[in-house]
Chain A
Amino acid sequence: GNSVTQMEGPVTLSEEAFLTINCTYTATGYPSLFWYVQYPGEGLQLLLKATKADDKGSNKGFEATYRKETTSFHLEKGSVQVSDSAVYFCALLTGFQKLVFGTGTRLLVSP
Chain B
Amino acid sequence: IAGITQAPTSQILAAGRRMTLRCTQDMRHNAMYWYRQDLGLGLRLIHYSNTAGTTGKGEVPDGYSVSRANTDDFPLTLASAVPSQTSVYFCASSDSGTGYGYTFGSGTRLTVV
- List the interface of chain A (C-beta within 8 A of B): 32, 41-46, 49, 89, 93, 95-99, 101-104
Helix, strand, loop or mixed for chain A's interface? Answer: loop
Are A89 and B98 in touch, CB under 8 angstroms?
no
Q: Give me the 8 closest cross-chain CB pairs, A-B, nearest first.
A: A43-B104, A103-B42, A93-B99, A101-B43, A44-B104, A101-B42, A43-B106, A99-B99
Q: Does B63 touch A at the CB level, under 8 Å?
A: no
Complex CA distance for A46 and B90, rounded to whole angstroms? 14
Q: Report if B45 contacts A (CB, 8 A).
A: yes
A1 to chain B minimum Cβ distance, whole angstroms, is 10
If A43-B90, A89-B42, A103-B42 touch, whether A96 touches B98 (CB-CB below 8 Å) is: yes
Known: A89-B42, A103-B40, A104-B42. A98 touches B105 (CB 8 A): no
| Least CB distance, B42 to chain A, in whole angstroms | 4
**Shortest beta-carbon distance, B61 to chain A, in Å?**
12
How far is it, in angstroms, between the C-alpha of A42 and the C-alpha of B105 when the chains are bound? 8
Q: With A42-B106, A89-B43, A103-B41 given, can you name 15 additional A-B contacts, CB distance below 8 Å? A: A32-B99, A42-B107, A43-B4, A43-B104, A43-B105, A46-B101, A46-B102, A93-B98, A93-B99, A93-B100, A96-B97, A97-B99, A99-B99, A101-B42, A101-B43
Complex-state Cα separation, A13 to B60, whole angstroms: 35
Contacts of A43 in B (CB 8 A): 4, 90, 92, 104-107
